[in-house]
Structures are given as C-alpha cells and as structure tokens.
C-alpha cells in the first residue's frame, strides 16, 4: 500500500485524538501509523477515528523514529524540546503543535491557505511549526483581505474556549459549573480564577510590558505568517465555552475596501465560510463551529472611526483549524510538495 509512515505523538490528549480523527476523515495516505504518548498511557488502546481500527499506544521515550516519514506532535513545548530534535535528526519530519519552534527563523510556521510556499525551507531543521490556535483562524480570515487592500493594523479581542488549556481546562469548567449548581464551592486549579460563569483576561504568562504571552504570540506569529509590516495588538480572554475560539477583529487597510467587497472576497476565500445575514441568528457562534474544518466569518461591517476600516467576527474550532486540522493540512502539503510518496 502506498502512503506515508506517520507518527502521532501525544495521541491520548485533546489535540492528538483530534489529529487521529482528521487523518482518518480526510483519508490521509498512510501505510503505517504509530501512536505515542508518555509512559502513563503505554499499552492503552485508542481508535483510529471512526474506523474501528484500534491502535496500541507506545511510549515515546522508547520509540525509534528512523524510517518514519513524518510525526505530528501534540506533546507541549517540554516534550517537543526533548523529542523533536531526535525525530528530525532520524529523518522523520516533525510537524509540531507546541509554541517552542514557532519563532525559530529556521523553522517554517505554516497555515496552508496563507503561506504554503514557506514550507520549502523545512529541511533546515526538519521541523515545521503549527501556529497558536487563535493566530491560525485569524490569518485565514485576514489573508484574502490583505491581498486585496493591504492591512496596516489589526486590533483583536479573543474569546477563547477552555479546551485550549487541554482536557484539564474542560474538566474544570464542567466541575465548577456542576458544583455551583448544587451550591458547592468552585475551586480554581487549572485557571487563575473561577472560569464557570466568568471570563478571565489572562491566557499564558505575563510579560514585562503587561501583555500576556498569548497576546504576544498573536502579534509575532501574524507578522511571520502574513506580513512583518502589519501592526497587531491583542487582548486574549478565556471564556466559559468548551470548544471553539471567537475573535472580534478590527482591521485598518492602506487601500479602500467596502464591507460588501470584503464579503464577496471572503465568500471565495479558501478555508473561510461567510455566514453573515444581518438578522437574529444570522451569524456563527462557537457551538455551531465545533467539528467543522472552516473558519467562520460573520458581522462584516465598515469601521467609521478610521479611513479604510472593517470590523468582523471570526469563529473556529480551536482543536481543528487551530491545531489538529492545520497540522494534517501541513502534512498533506509536505507530501504534495516534497515527499511525494502517495499514489
């Protein structure tokens, strides 16, 4: 059977499971598949999507990557630091979901709809980085508009779901909600404050200038993926939603662009679904985007406070386009442009 020898590392976590689902759904050409996790999950069995095929989890510490084509990593920066160089050196290309390598000048940071050509530099380290979930959906929306009217400045506020903080984040929202309903106390463990029935304007750690690392990531990653000249400022907020990140994005352009023109551009843009009826319910919320591949855009309108300004609402499944789907699309791109093993 022609195809690739593929490794999924971190296969038991939120993103790793989603990677397996999407590899199966998209019928990625696989001749052999290995699923890896830490020693805790060694020997567990997980299903390959809905195929009914069960895979035995192997310990990443003892896995030999020689002879494997590509590895999709969802093991966090600590794990990537330990294992990515070892896999890359063995000739297995790493597609890494962690933040560790994103800003390394020798590592391509790829969103296939936006900068597919940048993958051509992957052989320098044999590592390709997947952007932050909130950056990924934003650049998919910005790219076609930037091509038409050149973006100068972006102001974004995010409404990020708890699944972005892993399974522990989802469990905490569930447990706190349940506890509050029955009158028990809601103890914060994963998050810095109560997340149930609340919003928290703090994701990742604080930097010296008062921004958080998540906000900084959106700035520097957008510049690397889309255009270094674009100015970006972000406020990233955790909200009590299980899956799906939302963003309110205000964009200032060099050149003229009307809301109507923007809508017609977004309607044709790859990876984008425009749902923008100016009526009750004529927009997308996180609940509807779950399990979907698209980045949804709604509420497109002109910003009267600047020349050539637009405002829009952008929603996407953070475990899919924000993480697993983008990683699989990178794998597809790597196969098409470079490895060329699939029939």
Phi, psi of 169 (to 5 degrees): -65, -45
Catalytic residue among 83, 245, 289, 314: 245
Counting Cβ atoms within 10 Å, is residue 43 exposed (0-12), middle (13-18) or buried (19+)? exposed
Q: Is 245 a catalytic residue?
A: yes
Tell me how long the chain is: 343
Counting Cβ atoms within 10 Å, is residue 45 exposed (0-12), middle (13-18) or buried (19+)? exposed
Tell me the CA end-to-end span of the chain in Å, nearest whole number: 9
Counting Cβ atoms within 10 Å, is residue 139 exposed (0-12), middle (13-18) or buried (19+)? buried
Catalytic residue among 133, 236, 289, 314: 133
Contact of 98 with 104, CB cutoff 8 Å: no
Helix (H), strand (E) at residue 217: helix 213-225
Angle between helical axes of 14-25 and 325-334 (0-180°, round to 10): 50
Report the alpha-carbon distance of residue 249 to residue 246 in Å, rounded. Answer: 10
Active-site residue list = 133, 245
């Amino acid at each position: 059977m022609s195809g690739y020898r593929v490794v999924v590392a971190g296969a038991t976590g939120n993103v790793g499971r989603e990677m397996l689902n999407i590899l199966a759904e998209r019928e990625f050409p696989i001749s052999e598949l290995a699923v890896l996790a830490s020693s805790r999950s060694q020997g567990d069995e997980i299903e390959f999507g809905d195929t009914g095929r069960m895979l035995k989890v192997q310990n990443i510490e003892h896995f030999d990557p020689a002879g494997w084509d590509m590895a999709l990593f969802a093991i966090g920066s600590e794990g990537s630091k330990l294992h990515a160089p070892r896999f890359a050196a063995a000739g297995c290309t790493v597609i890494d979901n962690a933040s560790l390598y994103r800003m390394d000048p020798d590592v391509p940071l790829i969103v296939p709809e936006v900068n597919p050509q940048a993958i051509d530099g992957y052989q320098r380290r044999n590592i390709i980085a997947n952007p932050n979930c909130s950056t990924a959906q934003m650049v998919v929306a910005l790219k076609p508009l930037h091509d038409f009217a050149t973006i100068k400045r972006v102001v974004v506020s995010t409404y990020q779901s708890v699944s972005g903080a892993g399974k522990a984040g989802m469990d905490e929202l569930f447990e706190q909600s349940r506890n509050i309903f029955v009158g028990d106390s809601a103890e914060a463990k994963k998050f810095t404050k109560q997340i149930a029935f609340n919003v928290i304007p703090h994701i990742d750690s604080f930097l010296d200038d008062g921004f958080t690392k998540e906000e900084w990531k959106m700035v520097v990653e957008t510049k690397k993926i889309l255009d270094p000249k674009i100015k970006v400022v972000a406020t990233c907020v955790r909200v009590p939603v299980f899956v799906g990140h939302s963003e309110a994005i205000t964009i200032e352009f060099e050149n003229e662009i009307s809301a109507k023109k923007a809508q017609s551009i977004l309607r044709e843009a790859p990876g984008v679904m425009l749902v923008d009826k100016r009526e009750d319910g004529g927009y997308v919320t996180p609940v509807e985007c779950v399990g979907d591949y698209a980045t949804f855009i709604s509420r497109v309108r002109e910003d009267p406070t600047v020349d050539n300004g637009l405002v829009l609402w952008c929603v996407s499944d953070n475990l899919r386009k924000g993480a697993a789907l983008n990683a699989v699309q990178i794998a597809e791109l790597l196969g098409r442009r470079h490895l060329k093993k699939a029939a």
